[in-house]
């Protein structure tokens, strides 16, 4: 597994406003969108391209375009939906799948409740979107989901992560697949309730409101 933490003052600034408990949902959504665009710039650095001829106003030349099959962007519901526009703005030709997963608050295990993905991901580059990497269980399950369907490589984009969660993903994936983790920040730790500290609260609730 490869790890990349974005080192940019704009990322740090936006993340600080995002963490503030006084930041209202509309601003929170906008900041998530902006942060993901910045992170997606790094996450897509190795997106596959092929050469193709083009005509400029001056001459004939060779450019590049994104290779087929197109990348697949997969937000993990529901909080991952708030990250979708930020990456599809950069790669509008990408296809979008959806994976519904939630953490059992007692066992901390990931439960899959929805799946809208191709059965065959052979040769695909997949970008997973989930704002928080806490215990790591959800992300490991999602990555395995992609690899079992033949994905070539998987890049997970998260806003913040706990060291414990990163280690869980690293131990689970090892060297058996090309997996990259792109983050805005690594936080201090998990608390006794498995919430990230200092964190930013429940990303889904702050994006969309509290749902019982």
- Three-state DSSP at 61 gives strand
Please list the alpha-helical segments (H only) found in the chain: 9-19, 25-43, 84-88, 137-148, 163-173, 203-208
Name residue 65's beta-bridge partners: 50
CA 117 to CA 109: how far, in whole Å? 21
Neighbours of 161 (CB within 10 A): 26
Which residues form the catalytic set? 103, 107, 202, 205
| Cβ neighbourhood burial of 29 (10 Å; 0-12, 13-18, 19+) | middle
């Amino acid at each position: 597994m490869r790890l990349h933490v974005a080192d940019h003052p704009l990322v740090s600034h936006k993340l600080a406003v995002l963490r503030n408990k006084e930041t209202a949902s509309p601003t929170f959504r906008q900041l998530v969108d902006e942060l993901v665009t910045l992170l997606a710039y790094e996450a897509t650095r190795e997106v596959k391209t092929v050469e193709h001829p083009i005509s400029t106003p001056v001459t004939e030349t060779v450019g590049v375009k994104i290779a087929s099959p197109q990348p697949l962007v997969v937000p993990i519901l529901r909080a991952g939906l708030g990250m979708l526009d930020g990456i599809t703005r950069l790669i509008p030709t990408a296809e979008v799948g959806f994976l519904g997963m939630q953490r059992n608050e007692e066992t901390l295990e990931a439960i899959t409740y929805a799946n809208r993905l191709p059965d065959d991901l052979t040769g695909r580059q997949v970008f997973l979107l989930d704002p928080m990497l806490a215990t790591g269980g959800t992300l490991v399950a999602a990555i395995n989901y992609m690899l079992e369907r033949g994905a070539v490589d998987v890049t997970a984009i998260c806003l913040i992560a706990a060291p414990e969660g990163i280690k869980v993903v690293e131990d689970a994936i090892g060297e058996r697949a090309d997996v990259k983790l792109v983050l805005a920040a690594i936080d201090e730790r998990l608390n006794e309730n498995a919430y990230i500290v200092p964190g930013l609260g429940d990303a889904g609730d702050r994006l969309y409101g509290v749902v019982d």
